[in-house]
Amino acid sequence: MLGQLPALALLFIFIFGLNLIPAFAPPTWMALALVGFEFPDTGAVHLAVVGAVAATLGRLTLARLSYWLLREKLLSDAHRANIDVIKDRLEKRTVLTVGLFLFYAFSPLPSNFLFIAYGLTGLPLLRVALPFFVGRLASYTFFIEGGAAAGRRLHIDSLASGLYAGAWFIGTQVLLLAALYAFTRIDWTALFDRHRLVWIPRA
Tell me the whole-structure pTM to 2 decimals.
0.85
CA distances from 52 to 38, 96, 136 (A): 19, 22, 5
Compute the distance between CA of residue 71 and CA of residue 195 in angstroms, rounded to an integer.
Answer: 26
What confidence tier does 42 reach under pLDDT thresholds 50, 70, 90? low
Residue-range domain boundaries for the chain: 2-194
Mean pLDDT of the chain: 83
Backbone dihedral angles phi then psi of residue 199, each to the nearest 5 degrees: -95, 135
Q: What's the sign of the alpha-carbon dihedral 142, 148, 133, 122?
A: negative
